[in-house]
Amino acid sequence: MDAGIPFQNRDGRHAYDETMFKLSVLDQSVVSYGQPQDASIRHTLALAQACEAWGYDRFWVSEHHNLPSIAGTAPEVLLAAIAARTTRIRLGSAGVMLPHYAPFKVAEQFRVLDALAPGRIDLGLGRAPGSDGRTSQLLNPDRYASERFPQQVMELQAWVTGQDFPAGHPGHGVIAQPTGVTSPSLWILGSSNYGAQLAAHLGLPYAFAYFFSDGVGCEQALDMYRSHFKPSPYLDKPQATICVSALAADTEEQAWFQFQSRARWRLERNRGRVTALLPPELACADLNPQDAAAIEAMRDDALVGTPEQAADKMRALAASLELDELVVCTWVHDPQVQLRSFELLSHVFSLKSKAFEQPEVALA
């Protein structure tokens, strides 16, 4: 496949152009079996610095609670540490689970982040709890908070961008500080039509959690977002991406071997058992024939292989969904294997040469 030639849809539109294509990163501070959880947070910092050097466009972190497999519980804190260690790469949440919090406080947190990394902050918002029901109650006792998600997003957007509320609104005259020349860019995240409809209605960028739903409903959600999109002061045309799971290694055999850790985790998750990520040599050591067949079936659509093999699969997926950006999430037991995967993908997509052609944000 010639990576320099754009793919085309049947209507002739260019859905994928290697010269314009961007890769970004979602890291969830995954916990590996036998390793301390706090080490996962420090590895996220190292990964962010490496991904900036390799030319990735964005680096997003997630919010989950009370999960033994994910240590990333406070994206606003983690992003501040990453902001202090980077200079170019965009940083963001994927996402802040807004129903847990007061929009005004989230606005203040991300205005502070924008002051630390002006013009580089993405504020991705989700409605899902990112945890179990009992933990959600501890974060916010209001069981119906998620029903106010659209209102929360609009209020947050106003505070983040410095708009005032009408007289009579509790937020009238209240300013989320610090103010500055730039402001965070809001994104709506989701894995269903709900988020797609809301993003389209508000004229905001949209990211679909492809890795979470195995792509189920993705095409329909993107079609709905694009067809219902209303231009806004923040965005004049649809801007969409998807978060995918991908893994590259120096050999195909190594890639599929490392793939076993996440595959076993998914198998257990589907049964309601969530654990730390097992090393690949243990992940498939005790499988019965039925479980082995289930993991083998996961290989069919997996974006896994040598750098060239993984990249070809990613290009084909981007072309089929008319995307010019993919956000990559890589779960492996060994942090060095994860680093190597992102390094290999950066080379095969020539990310570094494209990234540093972009001008830096100009500040007054």
Mean pLDDT across the stretch 304-313? 98
Q: What is the pLDDT of residue 357?
A: 53
Sign of CA dihedral 245, 37, 58, 306: negative
Q: What is the pLDDT of residue 13?
A: 44
The token duo for 109 is 């947190």
DSSP for 297-364, written as a single string: HHTTT-EEESHHHHHHHHHHHHHHTT-SEEEEE---SSHHHHHHHHHHHHHHTTHHHHHTTSPPPP--
Q: What is the pLDDT of residue 355?
A: 63
Q: What is the pLDDT of residue 10?
A: 37
Average per-residue pLDDT for the chain: 92
- pLDDT tens digit sequence for 28-48: 999 999 999 999 999 999 999
Phi, psi of 71 (to 5 degrees): -95, -10
Mean pLDDT across the stretch 67-85? 97
Mean pLDDT across the stretch 105-125? 98
When mean pLDDT is compared across 8-17, 207-216, 236-245, 338-347, the lowest value belongs to 8-17
Q: Nearest to residue 187, comparing CAs of 157, 164, 226?
A: 157
- The domain segmentation of the chain, as residue ranges, is 7-355
Q: Is the pLDDT of residue 122 over 50?
A: yes
- pLDDT tens digit sequence for 245-269: 999 999 999 999 999 999 999 999 9
Superfamily of domain 7-355: Luciferase-like domain (3.20.20.30)
- pLDDT tens digit sequence for 14-31: 456 777 899 999 999 999
Chain centroid to Cα 181, Å, comes to 26
